[in-house]
């Protein structure tokens, strides 16, 4: 039988660079042919061969209700009939803004945009505009979208300015970006001591989901807050992944820390292109058309996307939603740990809400460098073993995993059994 995924990949590569519109989808890290998805329902999607997979990426987070939730589908269908886009304000944008602010108390005002990249980039500009400072602090392994100033890795020394991680980004463009090691208190202290009056903001994934799953320690997160306050810098929590994913109030709710600005995306669009950034009124009013910081978007606050986001937020706000999701995710993580232990496979895993990560090592890593010591070949064997058994996890070891409300106990049990089978055959 011809493999339809192979045929589609060949066709795609002729017209789209690498055959994909976002690099991780190409399976470059794990090898093999990417699965071209035809349709999805609940916890599953089906590829071009009509092969079913239990989906643990959920569009990289947004599909927290599972695919095709009836209330969301209904809201989107209704919105589509009323028009796709107007380029003029709508009541639904106010409703979504109100819903977001009600759930994230650190935000008094919010601006809606279309992607996490756009939201993080705009928050950065706002922080620089509001403080009148240039320097930004970020951490190795945290991803904040692909804006030029954020595509940067640590330089050679401690607390030095970084080097671009992409061609097309001149070193001058990242000369104001300091890249520090995640959870390294000493580097953090040093950076603020050296650059005190220049730091506009510190941007962090307080529970990082772009170096697999790594938590900021409570002491580290607290020190980020204290140092920003002390030195007049803004603390920006990039919650594009964690917002409405690790809990109803995001990583800031889990850690009990109030950032100045919050960046949201993924879940707030429920699978449609929608993201946001927000914070205190006095800072947000620096944005155009009120203030001097320019920011705009033709499709921002799109009526179909806001309908999808609103319907999603309504479902996840129901009592007990996160308790049930967190319990299910824990069951998966604990089951995988037990399966690995039973087969003598070095392994550890962690989760918060509906987000999880696992590591083919006994320790839970504290930073990017440790995550990247994972044995690539072992991870790839596990990835392909799971794929062959109808379980789709992220095709790269530095990505987190996602469980949805639609995953059943049977799905979780089947996933654990598949992993154990693979561990037993090593
Ligand atoms: C996904 C992600 C982004 C980028 O969002 P896009 O919608 O892909 O542009 C930014 N920050 C974090 C933490 C993310 O996980």
pLDDT digits (tens, 9 = 90+) for 248-279: 999 999 999 999 999 999 999 999 999 999 99
CA of 6 to the centre of ligand 1 (A): 29
pLDDT at 161: 80
Structure tokens at 98: 């109100």
Domains identified in the chain and CATH numbers: 4-68+319-424 (3.90.1150.10), 70-316 (3.40.640.10)
Neighbours of 297 (CB within 10 A): 14
Contact 79, 423 (CB under 8 A): no
Closest ligand 1 atom to residue 208 Cα is 13
pLDDT at 157: 59
Any atom of ligand 1 within 6 Å of the Cβ of 205: yes
Q: Whose CA is nearest to atom 11 of ligand 1?
A: 144
Continuous segment of H or E residues that includes residue 370: helix 368-371
* CA–CA distances in Å: residue 178 to residues 139, 140, 299, 369: 8, 10, 32, 17
pLDDT at 1 over 90: no
pLDDT at 360 over 60: yes
- Cut 0.75: pTM above it: yes
Any atom of ligand 1 within 6 Å of the Cβ of 243: no
* CA–CA distances in Å: residue 266 to residues 123, 146, 221, 354: 16, 15, 23, 13
pLDDT at 110: 98
pLDDT at 424 over 60: yes
Mean pLDDT of the region 111-130: 98
pLDDT digits (tens, 9 = 90+) for 297-350: 999 999 999 999 999 999 999 999 999 999 999 999 999 999 999 999 999 999
CA of 162 to the centre of ligand 1 (A): 20
First-to-last CA distance in the chain? 29
Mean pLDDT of the region 85-111: 98
The DSSP secondary-structure symbol of 287 reads: B
Burial zone of 193 (CB within 10 Å; 0-12 exposed, 13-18 middle, 19+ buried): exposed
pLDDT at 426: 82
pLDDT digits (tens, 9 = 90+) for 49-60: 999 999 999 999
Any atom of ligand 1 within 6 Å of the Cβ of 309: no
Any atom of ligand 1 within 6 Å of the Cβ of 115: yes
Q: Compute φ and ψ for 94, nearest 5 degrees.
A: -65, -45
CA of 410 to the centre of ligand 1 (A): 31
Any atom of ligand 1 within 6 Å of the Cβ of 58: no
Q: What angle do CA 351, 356, 362 make, to 5 degrees?
A: 75
pLDDT band at 159 (very low <50, low <70, confident <90, very high): low
Contact 50, 44 (CB under 8 A): no
CA of 143 to the centre of ligand 1 (A): 7
Decide: helix, strand or coil at residue 37. Answer: strand
pLDDT at 172 over 80: yes
Neighbours of 196 (CB within 10 A): 14
Q: What are the beta bridge partners of residue 199? A: 135
List the catalytic residues: 143, 238, 266
Any atom of ligand 1 within 6 Å of the Cβ of 265: yes
Q: Whose CA is nearest to atom 8 of ligand 1?
A: 116
Q: What are the beta bridge partners of residue 55? A: 392
* CA–CA distances in Å: residue 107 to residues 126, 226, 278: 14, 19, 6
Structure tokens at 174: 């990242």
pLDDT at 43: 98
Q: Exposure string (b/e) for 360-385, b if CB count within 10 Å is 16 or more?
A: bbeebbbbbebbeebeeeebbbbbbb
């Amino acid at each position: 039988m011809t493999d339809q995924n192979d045929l589609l990949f060949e066709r795609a590569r002729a017209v789209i660079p690498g055959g994909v519109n976002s690099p991780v989808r190409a399976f470059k890290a794990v090898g093999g042919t990417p699965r071209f998805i035809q349709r999805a329902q609940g916890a599953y999607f089906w590829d071009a061969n009509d092969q079913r997979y239990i989906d643990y990426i959920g569009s990289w987070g947004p599909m927290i209700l599972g695919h095709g939730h009836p209330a969301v589908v209904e809201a989107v269908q209704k919105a589509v009939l009323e028009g796709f886009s107007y380029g003029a304000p709508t009541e639904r944008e106010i409703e979504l803004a109100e819903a977001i602010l009600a759930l994230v108390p650190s935000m008094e005002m919010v601006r809606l945009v279309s992607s996490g990249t756009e939201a993080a980039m705009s928050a950065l500009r706002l922080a620089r505009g509001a403080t009148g400072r240039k320097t930004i602090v970020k951490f190795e392994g945290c991803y904040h979208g692909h804006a030029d100033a954020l595509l940067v890795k640590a330089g050679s020394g401690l607390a030095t300015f970084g080097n671009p991680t992409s061609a097309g980004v001149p070193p001058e463009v990242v000369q104001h970006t300091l890249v520090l090691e995640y959870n390294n208190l000493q580097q953090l202290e040093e950076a603020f001591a050296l650059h005190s009056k220049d730091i506009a903001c510190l941007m962090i994934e307080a529970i990082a989901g772009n170096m697999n799953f790594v938590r900021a320690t409570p002491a580290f997160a607290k020190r980020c807050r204290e140092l920003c306050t002390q030195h007049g810098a803004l603390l920006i929590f990039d919650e594009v992944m964690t917002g409405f994913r690790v809990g109803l109030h995001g990583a800031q709710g889990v850690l009990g820390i109030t950032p100045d600005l919050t960046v949201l995306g993924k879940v707030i669009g429920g699978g449609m292109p929608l993201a946001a950034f927000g914070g205190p009124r006095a800072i947000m009013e620096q944005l155009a058309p009120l203030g001097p910081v320019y920011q705009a978007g033709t499709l921002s606050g799109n009526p179909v996307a806001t309908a999808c986001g609103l319907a999603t937020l309504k479902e996840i706000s129901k009592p007990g939603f996160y308790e049930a999701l967190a319990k299910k995710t824990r069951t998966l993580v604990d089951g995988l740990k037990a399966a690995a232990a039973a087969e003598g496979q070095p392994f550890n895993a962690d989760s918060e809400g509906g987000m999880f990560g696992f590591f083919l090592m006994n320790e839970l890593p504290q930073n990017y460098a440790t995550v990247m010591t994972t044995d690539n070949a072992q991870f790839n064997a596990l990835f392909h073993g799971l794929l062959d058994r109808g379980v789709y996890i992220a095709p790269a070891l530095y990505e987190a995993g996602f469980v949805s409300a639609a995953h059943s106990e049977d799905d979780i049990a089947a996933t654990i059994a598949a992993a154990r089978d693979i561990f037993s055959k090593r």
